[in-house]
């Protein structure tokens, strides 16, 4: 029997994506350790995630609170679960202590709810602000010109730590079309970091998905969120 047939295809896919991440770092003179590859496991079964865990993968991304909490409970401890989806305030309490980073903070009210629940849990919750970089109606996130004022408001919340910015770039055929959006994100991250707002530690840039993560890395991404290229197409009708 061919041993290769026993390997879950997601493991090979992961290695392929990992090689592309490394190549993009090399092309842009970056250290591979500056970029975290998050395997976006939403809608995907435990056995695919477990295969990656067995392969040494520790960073996973989910966009629904209930699904993330279920997987976090069922799978081994010590993994890093990233909340990358739109977050309703009434679900924040379930995430405390389970997520390593909330990528999708897009309002002061949401940040205040995270403050309340983090304080109750006795923790500090790391967050990113989501920027609607393409100014698309269909997408969440604040406008880029609002970033500084929201950053200052979040900075005042003692149990919320603002660590950087996140965006979901427009869906495009040619990833090069998003290069200027990613560059703009990086410039805003640098501007905010230079303000040295007390209580913040602004260094992360969560940007790049299956279609455009290589360009995102070339433009400075520190966290890339890759689903389809690792797990295959998602089926929402199951």
Ligand X SMILES: *Cc1c(COP(=O)(O)O)cnc(C)c1O
What character string, x for contact with ligand X (CB under 6 A) and - otherwise, covers 141-180? ---------------------------x------------
Instruction: Spell out the residues 6+ positions from residue 111 whose beta carbon is closer than 8 angstroms to its own.
Output: 105, 127, 150, 153, 154, 157, 160
Of 44 and 189, the one with the shorter C-beta distance to ligand X is 44
Q: Judged by CB under 6 A, how many residues of this single chain contact ligand X? A: 13
Of 83 and 114, the one with the shorter C-beta distance to ligand X is 83
Does residue 65 interact with ligand X by CB under 6 A? no
Buried b (16+ CB within 10 A) or exposed e, 82-97: bbbbebeeeebeebbe
Binder among 24, 209, 215, 216 for ligand X (CB under 6 A)? 209
Of 88 and 228, the one with the shorter C-beta distance to ligand X is 228
Instruction: Spell out the residues 6+ positions from residue 29 whose beta carbon is closer than 8 angstroms to its own.
Output: none
On whether the CB atoms of residues 90 and 126 are closer than 8 A, the answer is: no
Of 158 and 228, the one with the shorter C-beta distance to ligand X is 228
Does residue 63 interact with ligand X by CB under 6 A? yes
From the list 13-21, 136-144, 184-192, 226-234, the region that binds ligand X by CB under 6 A is 226-234
Binder among 66, 172, 228, 232 for ligand X (CB under 6 A)? 228
Phi, psi dihedral angles at 140 (to 5 degrees): -80, -175
- Smallest distance from ligand X to CB 166, Å: 8
Residue number with the shortest CB distance to ligand X?
227
Of 155 and 209, the one with the shorter C-beta distance to ligand X is 209
- Smallest distance from ligand X to CB 20, Å: 12
Identify the sign of the CA torsion 82, 209, 231, 236. positive
- Helix (H) or strand (E) holding 61, with range, is strand 59-62
On whether the CB atoms of residues 92 and 111 are closer than 8 A, the answer is: no
Binder among 25, 37, 57, 84 for ligand X (CB under 6 A)? 84
Does residue 216 interact with ligand X by CB under 6 A? no
On whether the CB atoms of residues 81 and 98 are closer than 8 A, the answer is: yes
Binder among 42, 94, 147, 150 for ligand X (CB under 6 A)? 42
Tokens standing for residue 134: 């393409």
SS3 181: helix
Strand partners, 223: 36, 206
Binder among 44, 82, 189, 225 for ligand X (CB under 6 A)? 225
In the complex, which residues of this chain contact ligand X (CB under 6 A)? 40, 42, 63, 84-85, 168, 209-211, 225-228
């Amino acid at each position: 029997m061919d041993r290769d047939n026993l390997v879950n295809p997601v493991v090979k896919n992961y290695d392929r994506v990992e090689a592309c991440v490394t190549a993009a770092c090399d092309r842009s003179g970056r250290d591979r350790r500056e970029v975290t590859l998050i395997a976006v496991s939403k809608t995907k079964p435990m056995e695919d995630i477990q295969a990656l865990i067995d392969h040494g993968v520790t960073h996973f991304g989910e966009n629904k609170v209930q699904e993330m909490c279920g997987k976090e409970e069922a799978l081994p401890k010590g993994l890093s679960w990233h909340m990358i989806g739109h977050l309703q305030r009434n679900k924040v309490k379930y995430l405390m202590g389970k997520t390593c980073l909330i990528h999708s903070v897009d309002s002061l009210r949401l940040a205040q709810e995270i403050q309340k629940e983090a304080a109750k849990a006795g923790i500090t919750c790391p967050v990113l602000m989501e920027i609607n970089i393409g100014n698309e109606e269909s997408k969440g996130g604040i406008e880029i010109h609002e970033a500084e004022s929201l950053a200052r408001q979040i900075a005042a919340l003692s149990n919320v730590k603002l660590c950087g910015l996140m965006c979901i770039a427009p869906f495009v055929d040619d990833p090069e079309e998003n290069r200027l959006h990613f560059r703009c994100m990086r410039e805003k991250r640098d501007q905010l970091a230079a303000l040295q707002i007390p209580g913040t530690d602004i260094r992360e840039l969560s940007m790049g998905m299956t279609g455009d993560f290589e360009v995102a890395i070339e433009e400075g991404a520190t966290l890339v969120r890759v689903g389809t290229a690792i797990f295959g197409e998602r089926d929402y009708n199951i």
